[in-house]
């Protein structure tokens, strides 16, 4: 591996890509510490150091790479862009015009990217308003408001508009950095930005676990290593469907007939096609009841009683929260995998290219066969993602430290999926660059 690293830095173009990647990530981490005006730092630190964190803030802080805990200009990170991308992907099978753009090659992808950028702006504005409104009121017992001068009337209007514009601009800057990483660097830029924030939080998480005792730090370190190994094993798992291409006769000069094609290959169908998206869907849906109920729990009528019920039931300390998290993750895995598979239109592509699965007639039979295989391997991927989702709950039950506590693992389950996926993807891209130049890569 050390030889591969040295070889990577010996190649000028690959060295430039690696240094560009590192430089942009450093610039993002520096921008994540540029504070916004009017923020009560003491209250902000108190909220994020609390063992009973607000689950909505914890999720938003995760996708901002820890920038929300600083309430900087990057407080929203790339989350609005991720939301816009997911919405565009889900709309493509529904809107015929968008589906037609997916078939127009590079030009169609550029138009879809432009639509995603346009959609990111209003989503960023809405999230900035919602996020700031949430932090403008007390979030726990004995805590004040993070934003003390927030509102759309009077003297608070100008500071409010400043915060909204700054946060929206920070999101667009983070999106631009992510796209620059993808084009000029190595790996997926948006994932790398989230990856950098997760890795940056590891030393502090290790310190917190060490304060609870060396034994607990050791136990959760072992759990983290075993979870990473399991994620790698499942992420790389695939079912290879054999494909045979029929021979075609081609007439050459001199009336010679030449047989073309006839080669055999395979179509890899991944066990976990959906990646981390089902976890994001499930957690985003679960935080809605808890967040909405938090606005009404102080009322003394039936609305307050109903709000207290939902607030308690969907608290991360409750069993029902984690059961719903598991079931929603499994359901969303099937849903998102089916959407992605339909967008690929694999049976029609094979038929157009003259390919067929041995023993399976092209057309509807091939489509039914592939859907059957996909449903079986997706079951394994869905159960795996569900297990990863409830891992903090299981760790809290077995080893203590608080059921569903956000401090029970060195890196959260969703964070581990991102870290492992980004590392594998980046290593494969470096591997491909080295193999193209006849160098040995990381994998031998």
- Cβ neighbours, 10 Å, residue 185: 24
Q: What is the DSSP string of 419-444?
A: HHHHHHHHHHHHHHHHHHTT---S--
Domain residue ranges of the chain, discontinuous segments joined by +: 32-185, 202-444
Sign of the Cα torsion 342, 234, 316, 211 reads negative
Q: What is the DSSP letter of 311?
A: H
Q: What is the DSSP letter of 188?
A: -
Torsions phi, psi of 262, nearest 5?
Answer: 90, 5
Q: What is 202-444's CATH topology?
A: Preprotein translocase SecY subunit (1.10.3370)
Top-confidence range, 101-110, 159-168, 293-302? 159-168
pLDDT digits (tens, 9 = 90+) for 42-100: 888 877 776 555 666 777 777 776 778 888 898 888 888 888 888 888 888 788 888 88
For residue 217, give the H/E element and its range.
helix 214-235
Q: Minimum mean pLDDT among 35-39, 251-255, 361-365: which range?
A: 251-255
pLDDT digits (tens, 9 = 90+) for 240-250: 888 887 665 55
- Written as six digits, the tokens of 172 are 């667009």
More confident residue, 284 or 410: 284
């Amino acid at each position: 591996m050390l030889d591969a690293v040295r070889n990577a830095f010996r190649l000028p173009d690959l060295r430039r890509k690696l240094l560009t990647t590192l430089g942009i990530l450093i610039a993002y981490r520096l921008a994540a510490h540029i504070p916004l005006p009017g923020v009560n730092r003491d209250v902000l630190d108190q909220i994020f150091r609390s063992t009973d964190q607000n689950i909505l803030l914890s999720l938003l802080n995760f996708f901002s790479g820890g920038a929300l805990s600083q309430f900087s200009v990057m407080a929203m990170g790339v989350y609005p862009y991720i939301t816009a991308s997911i919405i565009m992907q889900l709309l493509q099978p529904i809107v015929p015009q968008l589906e037609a753009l997916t078939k127009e090659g590079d030009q169609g992808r550029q138009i879809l990217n432009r639509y995603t950028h346009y959609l990111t702006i209003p989503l960023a504005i809405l999230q900035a308003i919602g996020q700031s409104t949430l932090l403008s009121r007390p979030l726990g017992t004995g805590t004040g408001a993070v934003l003390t001068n927030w509102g759309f009337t009077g003297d608070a209007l100008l500071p409010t508009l400043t915060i909204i514009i700054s946060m929206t601009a920070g999101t667009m800057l983070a999106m631009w950095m992510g796209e620059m990483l993808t084009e000029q660097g190595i790996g997926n830029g948006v994932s790398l930005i989230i990856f950098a924030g997760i890795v940056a939080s590891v030393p502090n998480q290790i310190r917190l676990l060490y304060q609870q005792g060396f034994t607990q730090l050791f136990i959760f370190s072992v759990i983290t290593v075993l979870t990473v190994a399991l994620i790698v094993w499942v992420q790389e798992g695939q079912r290879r469907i054999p494909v045979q291409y029929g021979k075609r006769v081609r007439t050459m000069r001199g009336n010679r007939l030449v047989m073309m094609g006839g080669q055999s290959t395979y179509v890899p169908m991944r066990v976990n096609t959906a990646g981390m998206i089902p976890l994001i869907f499930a957690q985003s849906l679960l935080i809605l009841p808890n967040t909405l109920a938090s606005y009404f729990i102080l009322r003394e009528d039936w609305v307050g009683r109903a709000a207290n019920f939902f607030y308690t039931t969907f608290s991360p300390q409750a069993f029902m929260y984690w059961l719903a998290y598991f079931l929603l993750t499994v359901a969303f895995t099937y849903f998102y995998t089916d959407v992605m598979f339909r967008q690929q239109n694999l049976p029609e592509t094979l038929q157009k290219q003259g390919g067929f699965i041995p023993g399976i007639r092209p057309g509807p039979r091939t489509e039914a066969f592939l859907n059957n295989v996909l449903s079986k391997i997706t079951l394994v991927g869905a159960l795996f993602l569900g297990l990863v989702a409830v891992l903090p709950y299981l760790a809290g039950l077995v080893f203590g430290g608080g059921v569903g506590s956000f401090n029970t693992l060195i890196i959260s389950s969703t964070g581990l999926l991102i870290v492992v996926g980004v590392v594998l993807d980046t290593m494969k891209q470096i591997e491909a660059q080295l193999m193209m130049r006849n160098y040995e890569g990381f994998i031998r």
